[in-house]
Amino acid sequence: MLEGTIKTAWGAVMDESKNPLRSFPLMTAHMMMQILAWMWSVIFAMALGSYLVFGVTVVGHALILAGVFGTLAVFQRAERLSADASAET
C-alpha cells in the first residue's frame, strides 16, 4: 500500500504527463521541471548546510516551505491555464 502511494505521489510530481504541467508543450514542461529541480536543489543545499546554527536552520525550513508553496503555485497555474485553454476550444 505504501509503495503504491509513493509511486503515485512520485508520478504526480515528477512525471510531466501526469502533473499539472501536462497541458504545456513538452519543452516548456521540461524547462519548468528543470527550474523547479534547481530551486529544490538550492533549498536542500541551504537547509542541510545550515544545521549548526538554529537561526539559519529556521531559514532552511522556511525555504523548504517556500519551495512547497512555489511548486504548488506553479502546478495550480498550469491547471488553470489548461482549463482556460480547454474552455476556449
pLDDT at 9: 83
What residues contact 79, with CB distance under 8 A and at least 6 apart?
20, 23
pLDDT at 57: 73
pTM of the shown model: 0.51
pLDDT, averaged across the chain: 83
Q: Is the dihedral of CA 72, 32, 34, 26 positive or negative?
A: positive
What residues contact 32, with CB distance under 8 A and at least 6 apart?
21, 24, 74, 78
